[in-house]
Structure 1
């Protein structure tokens, strides 16, 4: 057993979306950057693809990602008539939660499977009995009608299933990469999504990154963390980027990253130990 007095529990962060392309992997990688900047250790895991013999997007951005959703076994499970095979397969996800201290990037293609696993295994009972690390859920949506409704439904589902997959905190990230959310202010789904704030759900807005090197990062699978360690000379030498484009691109990327992490922190989304959480609560 761990000595909790000398090794207080860290949180586990699950970045999830019900639909693809919402920016959940971006949120996950920004959490990695945040941990590094604060000197807080974190482990990485992904349940984001069942493509045979390929890494998840998260795994292509970072080394050492624990891949939970890839391989021939999962491919076979999806064609099997034995539902218990899938339940046993996702037990590794359960072991990841028990170990704690992870940023987990969860894809839309497996989100429902993980909730089904948690209910079938009555995971909440074991996690509570083992006094497991707190788990935070971060759901990301772009400014699109269906995506907003899907985010609302996923947050509601997480409350409905909290007995089996217990989340300590929940956050919604409004990703403005496809435009602002102003046109949806009177949309019923968006109003219901924002109303979760009354239940303690944090709301975070992240702006579109206008950096000239953003497309390069996406094309070459360069994380924001690693890009910020580069210089304009690195970009010029390795990728043929004009030095002035690289210079301004890094300047804009640095400013955007800082603005994004500041938004995270204002909403309470930052590395924290159980002890630090308790101290903060007692100070209020």
Structure 2
């Protein structure tokens, strides 16, 4: 069984769903089967954004149900609600897109259920955490906080590998080299956390893809003729946009691979679950 990847951010708009998209594309290119899931408070069409980008996404928590759980005074309701997340990570082989402000609830569930004990006993597939942040001081601090939280709660939700994706959609991180929050975030590299940069995508068709909720994977299978028919854009604009999109996607996945952010078929699951420490939007 392949590893499970959890794509997470503490606040919205950081690019975590794009990171999850790129992981889906990566699995496809490497011929590694993967299942998709989302835990999100987005109630539009009763599907998460991840669920609108891809088919067959297992929705772990969306819309009114999640809102009711959050407002309920019955703690057992929240625990039972997130048991489906537990079944998902126990099964393994998923990319899970976790919505903003849901992370704390998932870790709280894991502690309440003593999830780590069962995951280890069942020799479940390893879980990797991927946190995405834009070049903003508060977002960087939020990413650092999530990474620290994952270490603090590792007994209950065992993480095999940890990654931080620096999303340059709003600009580069050069201006933050002396920022205390950024320094603290980078210091986690000494604990085995891998940091990778995802450059801004400059493709002319990017805004169209976002507007129509077309995944990068789907777009790369289109032709300039498809774009011309669907959006009414000039064939050369479509051709150039696809060329730039492919170049960006290749560069992004190469950066992921360089830091080991790739699907791995594990002969033994224990290594991952027992480890304690080690752009576009």
> When the two structures are superposed, what TM-score results if normalisation uses the length of structure 2?
0.93
Q: d(CA) in 2 for partners of 1:178 and 1:50?
A: 23
Q: d(CA) in 2 for partners of 1:35 and 1:276?
A: 20
> Tell me, what secondary structure is at the counterpart of 2:28?
helix
Partner in structure 1 of residue 83 of structure 2: 91
CA spacing shift, 1:210–1:106, aligned 2, 3 Å: same
Partner in structure 2 of residue 155 of structure 1: 147
Q: d(CA) in 1 for partners of 2:169 and 2:42?
A: 26
CA spacing shift, 1:276–1:228, aligned 2, 3 Å: farther
| Deviation string, structure 1 residues 246-283 (Cα, Å, up to 9, x no partner) | 000000000000000000000001111113999xxxxx
Comparing both chains, which one has the higher relative contact order based on Cα–Cα distances under 8 Å and sequence gaps of 6 or more? 2
Q: d(CA) in 1 for partners of 2:25 and 2:202?
A: 19
Which runs of structure 2 are paired with 1:165-244 in the superposition (5 Å)?
165-244=157-236
Partner in structure 2 of residue 29 of structure 1: 21
Q: d(CA) in 2 for partners of 1:55 and 1:109?
A: 17
Q: How many residues align?
A: 270
Q: d(CA) in 2 for partners of 1:111 and 1:94?
A: 14
Residue 57, structure 1, aligned to residue 60, structure 2: no
Structure 1 moving runs of 4+ over 6 Å: none
Superposition RMSD in Å:
1.4
CA spacing shift, 1:263–1:52, aligned 2, 3 Å: closer
Q: d(CA) in 2 for partners of 1:52 and 1:181?
A: 33
| Deviation string, structure 1 residues 172-226 (Cα, Å, up to 9, x no partner) | 0000000000010001110010010011101100100000000001000000000
CA spacing shift, 1:52–1:177, aligned 2, 3 Å: closer
Partner in structure 1 of residue 40 of structure 2: 48
Q: d(CA) in 1 for partners of 2:234 and 2:44?
A: 38
Partner in structure 2 of residue 253 of structure 1: 245
> Tell me, what secondary structure is at the counterpart of 2:151?
helix
Show structure 1 runs of 5+ residues with no match.
Answer: 1-8, 279-284
Q: d(CA) in 2 for partners of 1:103 and 1:167?
A: 14
Partner in structure 2 of residue 77 of structure 1: 69
Q: d(CA) in 2 for partners of 1:236 and 1:276?
A: 49
> Tell me, what secondary structure is at the counterpart of 1:63?
coil
Partner in structure 2 of residue 138 of structure 1: 130
CA contact (8 A) 2:37 2:95 kept: yes
After TM superposition, give the deviation of residue 74 of structure 1 in Å: 2.6
> Tell me, what secondary structure is at the counterpart of 2:195?
strand
> When the two structures are superposed, what TM-score results if normalisation uses the length of structure 1?
0.92
> Tell me, what secondary structure is at the counterpart of 2:38?
strand
Q: d(CA) in 2 for partners of 1:64 and 1:209?
A: 27
